[in-house]
Structure 1
Amino acid sequence: MSMRRWLAGAGVVALVVSTGACGDATPDAAATPEATGTPAASATSAAPTPTEASPSPTSANPPVLSGDRQVTITRVDAVESGLSLTDERLAEVDGDEGRQLFVATPVEGQTFLIKSYRGAGGGPGTGEPVCWQVQNPGNSQPLVVQGAECQESEQRQLFTIAPNPENAETYLISNNSAYLRNTRNNGLIMEELGDAAPFDSFRFNDNGAAPSS
């Protein structure tokens, strides 16, 4: 028996060419957030609130000129005598007559009423005060100081009490440019000095709390 070899070589090679469809991969556009420009907050400094101008400090009156203390008054060059408001006029005395206790009551700035009280030797109790007042006696006589009912509206009662430029612990006393001074023939008078320097200055000596009346 002949063997036939049938060489059946049917090799069908199915070459399947797989064509991969290569599509361009378009990447998704990255969603870039819209750049929102936030305007820089401008530094707005609050406008300064205008403050009320503070009054310039003023020098307070010393205690003897506060109206709360009573004083005796002596002329710097006097020897063992002090001022007293007698029934007639302001004079220098070395006894206990008249009103020798005084209260400088502020009116405005260096302007004062000078109230006069009786001391222990000048009558019972202090009584109601009377105020210094410039008087013109007439007959070409110099101006003097007498007692009168206290009235702040009376210009002749408004005395300027200012520190002596040569000695701050003593004071010059004047009224309407006339200064209190001592004279040999007329005692204490008020005199206009013009350009001349004041002749007399005075010490205010603390004598305790002022009377309440």
Structure 2
Amino acid sequence: MPSIPQGIRAFLDQARQDVQSVLERDPAARSATEVAMLYPGVHAVWAHRVSNHLWNAGAYLPARAISQAARAITGIEIHPGATLGPRVFIDHGAGVVIGETAVVGADVTIYHGVTLGGTSLNPGKRHPTVGDRVTIGAGAKILGNIEVGSDSRIGANAVLVRSVDPDSVVVGVPGQVVARGGVHTARPRFDAQDRNAPDPVGSAVQELLTRVQRLETEVNGEAAPEGIYRPVDGVWESTDFSI
């Protein structure tokens, strides 16, 4: 029986790792066959490995042709010049854009609507570098030649334009680091869209309303009704926000 060429063997080994990583991360995945046949994020990564090989070999036109065909089929655009590490999982995937000089580490999870984009016309490095085991929530934008440290989590719809250290939690527009540090296991974490994530905007609003309440106390000699401006478990329940 003829041996399998080394390049094809490496591709198949990576493909098996990709499928296994999806089974571990996506509770909706029922079988390896389902993942291999029906997951557009997996197909986009596989197509990118082929186009990236051609790009690095100087076959730019065929590389772009493959990447554009993959975009048409999967809705995911990965420039053939981008570098993806092993076991990158693009979940759902619609609207994901990864630019030419982007570098994505191992075991990264990317949800739909994410952009790893550039902010300049500089032909050099102009896209983000994402470390290992990073989770990027739906709709997040990471822009420019910045670095996202390993084990970080980027919240849904965050817009990150500056580098962040490893093990950071980033939310908001522009992206703010609201937590850093913690205990990790070998398994990646996938709670970037956790409803209990810190809310820096809500905290700022609450602080402003607290100051208004203090001013009312000083001016009127009596405090405003306690709790009228405060959220309950992070949810603004009251309909009376008049001052």
User: Normalising by structure 2, what TM-score?
Assistant: 0.22
| Structure with greater helix percent | 2
Higher radius of gyration, 1 or 2 = 1
User: Normalising by structure 1, what TM-score?
Assistant: 0.24
Higher relative contact order at CA 8 Å, sep ≥6: structure 1 or structure 2? 1
| Structure with greater strand percent | 1
